[in-house]
Amino acid sequence: MTPWWRRRPEWTGYAASGAACGYGVVLLVAVLTGRHSLVGLPGLAAPGAGILLVGSALAAATVRPWGRRISAPVLTVGLWTVAGLILPGSAMVLLNLIELVLTGSVHDPDGNSDWLTFAQRLGLATVAALFAAAAIRWRRRTSGGCPRCGRAHPPGLVDRRHPAPHPAPTVVRRIAYVGSVAWLPYASLHTLGAFGVPGIEGNGYRPTWYAAVAFWAGIGLAVFLLAGLVRPWGMVFPRWTLWLAGRRVPRFLPLTPVWLVAPTLALYGTGALVLIAAGVLDWHWDGVRGLLGVAAPLAFGGYGWALAVAAVSYQRRTLPFCVPGRFPQTPVAAPVGR
């Protein structure tokens, strides 16, 4: 019997539809009872409920017979649109998870416990991921490709093989290198602040030297994760991993933290730069401290977008492909009378 996780083409659409419907109904009830905020923003509950309920119908159309009446490209665009509208609402879920690990709780900007907003962001992240998966499966099925591997091949190919380790395309590797280097101005300014250079940190704050070392260590881990997505050793464990050497890296191992990190960093960095350019954020050029105010969103946004591009490339490069395999032999009954 095929394990449930290998039957994603069968249940992804149902899961996306059910999750969106349940979330949409909860928001609709909240609106009817006078609660109109979503992820801490007032007035978003009603439009959020509408988007989720419409999205639920679109996701159901990918797995139900009546969905064939809808044009395949229209349905594909609709699924990706819903995923794109939902994803920004989960932008701060990474920071909530970090706070939860470090403190055991989550708080709003005023310091009050805010479990409801955290649950809303986590739910939106889950629904967005399900809609992205449903859109990919739908596109494969309607384009003539295999719903599992996405490639066109004759029927009857039942076994799956993993591609040999190979690097990402040159353009993706260059994007990854740029995303790694984007940390340097931000990290360097914080290091100067740790060494006592005045005017870098706000409110007279001066980071300690061990905080600067920990900051560089975190950047090293971030760059290591990004490099693993574009280099062959991110597909098969290298020799220096000892007993794991030569074994295939499970796809979920790098992709799970990547898709938790990338949306938050990309949206935070890009949004901050847009708000600075529009004059919404109160930012003034006052020497090094003003430079730090630009270096931070450049670092987070540059790394977040590079991580997302590398993750998409990694998913495509590591996708198993179908190959000819043996069907299980079934016993044949002897003819009657012999």
Decide which of 152, 183, 209 is a domain's last residue.
152
Q: Cα–Cα distance between 154 and 323 in angstroms, integer? A: 10
The DSSP secondary-structure symbol of 323 reads: E
DSSP string, 128-156: HHHHHHHHHHHHHHHTTS-TTT-----TT
Same domain (yes/no): 181, 259: yes
- 337 has pLDDT over 60: no
Which residues have a Cβ under 8 Å from the Cβ of 148 and sit 6 or more positions away? 6, 8, 9, 140, 160, 320, 322
Question: Mean pLDDT, to the nearest integer, of 8-34?
Answer: 88
Whether residue 98 lies inside any domain: the answer is yes
Determine contact, residues 310/174, Cβ cutoff 8 Å.
no
Same domain (yes/no): 42, 113: yes
Whether residue 81 lies inside any domain: the answer is yes
- 328 has pLDDT over 70: no
Q: Which pLDDT band holds residue 229 (cuts at 50, 70, 90)?
A: very high
Same domain (yes/no): 193, 222: yes
Whether residue 282 lies inside any domain: the answer is yes
Q: What is the pLDDT of residue 4?
A: 43
Determine contact, residues 260/96, Cβ cutoff 8 Å.
no
Quote the pTM value: 0.71
Q: Cα–Cα distance between 12 and 321 in angstroms, integer? A: 19
The tens digit of pLDDT for each residue in 312-322 reads 999 889 988 77
The tens digit of pLDDT for each residue in 258-279 reads 887 888 888 888 888 887 777 7
- 243 has pLDDT over 70: yes
Could you give the angle at the alpha carbon of 17 between the alpha carbons of 11 and 21, nearest 5°? 145
Same domain (yes/no): 242, 209: yes
Q: Which pLDDT band holds residue 51 (cuts at 50, 70, 90)?
A: very high
Decide which of 93, 118, 152 is a domain's last residue.
152
Which residues span the domain enclosing 175? 170-323
- Percentage, residues of the chain above pLDDT 70: 80
Q: What is the pLDDT of residue 193?
A: 79
Same domain (yes/no): 174, 319: yes
Q: Which two tokens stand for residue 306?
A: 């590079």
Q: In the chain, how many domains are there?
A: 2
DSSP string, 246-274: TSBPPTHHHHHHHHHHHHHHHHHHHHHHH
Q: Rounded to the nearest 10 degrees, how much is the dihedral formed by the CA atoms of 292, 297, 303, 304?
A: 160
The DSSP secondary-structure symbol of 96 reads: H
HSE value, Cβ hemisphere, 13 Å, CA-based, for 232: 8
Same domain (yes/no): 264, 185: yes
Average pLDDT, the chain: 81
